[in-house]
Every structure is written in structure tokens, then in C-alpha cells.
Structure 1
Amino acid sequence: LMENNLLDVINDCMNGKELDLKFKDEKAVCLVMCSGGYPGNIETGFEITGIEKAKHSQVLCAGAVKKGDKTVSNGGRVMNVVATGATYDEARKKVYEDAAHVHFDYSFYREDIGKF
């Protein structure tokens, strides 16, 4: 995982500057939560709840929109749940623990992400 600011790295590359990249000694796992029917006829418009209960991960909305004060599914690949840890197993445990709190009707995700 790169510690540097990606925009700074891109600017330095564009300006021919020498790069001083720094990396964390951590692993990351990203779990994608999908709408029912994905990748075919997807089902959308369902309220997404529980994001605030994800304590160990970042939950990133992708195929989601705001409708009033609610966040609802609006695509096939709706959420990315991302966690880091000292090992893949640690990051994986965090991701699945937090994904269990996030809910929208007919959602699903793979159970084998981060397994080696």
C-alpha cells in the first residue's frame, strides 16, 4: 500500500521529477457487494443500511445514489468494503465482519475473497 499522495506522484511523473515512493507493510482486501441479478438483470432502488456499523473497514459507494435522506442501490457493483491488516487473513476477517453489517435487499458477495 503506497503511503504517498497519488496526485503528487502523478504530478511528479508528469514533471519529470525523481520519485521517492514509500509503502506500508500491510495487506488489503476489497470485497464487492453486488445487486441481485448481477451481472445480468440487476435489481436496484433498495435502501442501503448499516454502513455506519462498519468499524474496521472503509465502505465505498459505487452503484448507489442518494434519494432524499436515504442511500439506495443503483447499479450492479454497489459497494466496496476495504480493510487493511498485517496479514491477508486479518484484513479478510475485518472485511467480512463489516460486510455482514451492511444490507440492501437481494445483495450478495463472494465468500472466497482474500483466501489463498
Structure 2
Amino acid sequence: MPDVIAVAAAGPDPGSPVEPVIGRADYFLFFDARGAFVRAQANPHRDLSQGSGTLVARMLIEAGARAVLGGNVGPKAALALRGAGVSVSCPHQGPAGEAVARFLAVERDLPGA
């Protein structure tokens, strides 16, 4: 089960909606392995004309994310995340906190969890 779960979100709190594109998210919300909200971080790469997904992937890896949730992730960001052993779970929608709860419910049902 992941230690840190990062969610691409439109705002800084768990009630904020999941963003449709990870690289363009306004914020990343970090949750612990039990689904408790830990902190929010603004996305400094959201307005780049290109390359935001790869930079976001690096930022999330450095932040210790073991799973990333969002609406969609681009191929380069997905490759970088998965290459670092980070689980990518898409598509999610609705409030970020609820997306984490759904993700954890599925994770707990997996063999070996």
C-alpha cells in the first residue's frame, strides 16, 4: 500500500475537485496511507507551454509520492512516474478526498495488500 498519495486537484483542500490533467493541476494534495490529508502544494509548472507533466512527475517523486491520482496523465509523465515505482491511477473525478478513499478501498482488496 502506498505511503504517500498525491492527488491533482483544483484547490488546496480535500473537498477540491480532482483536476482532469495532472500536469496542469493547480495543486497537489498529499494524503497518508490511511487517507488522512497531510498538506497541499501549489503546482509551479502548471502554466508552462510544454514539459509540465515531466516536471510535475519529478516534483512528485521528490516529494515521496508512491501513488498519483488524477483525471489523466500524459505519456511522458506516466513513464517517469512508473519508472520510479510510482503507481498512477486514472481516471478519477469528484472531490480529492473521496478519490483517495475509493483508491484505498480498491488497494485494500488487492492480493498482497
| Fold match by TM threshold 0.5 | no
What's the TM-score, normalizing by structure 1?
0.31
Larger radius of gyration, structure 1 or 2?
A: 1
Considering fraction of residues, name the structure with more helix: 2
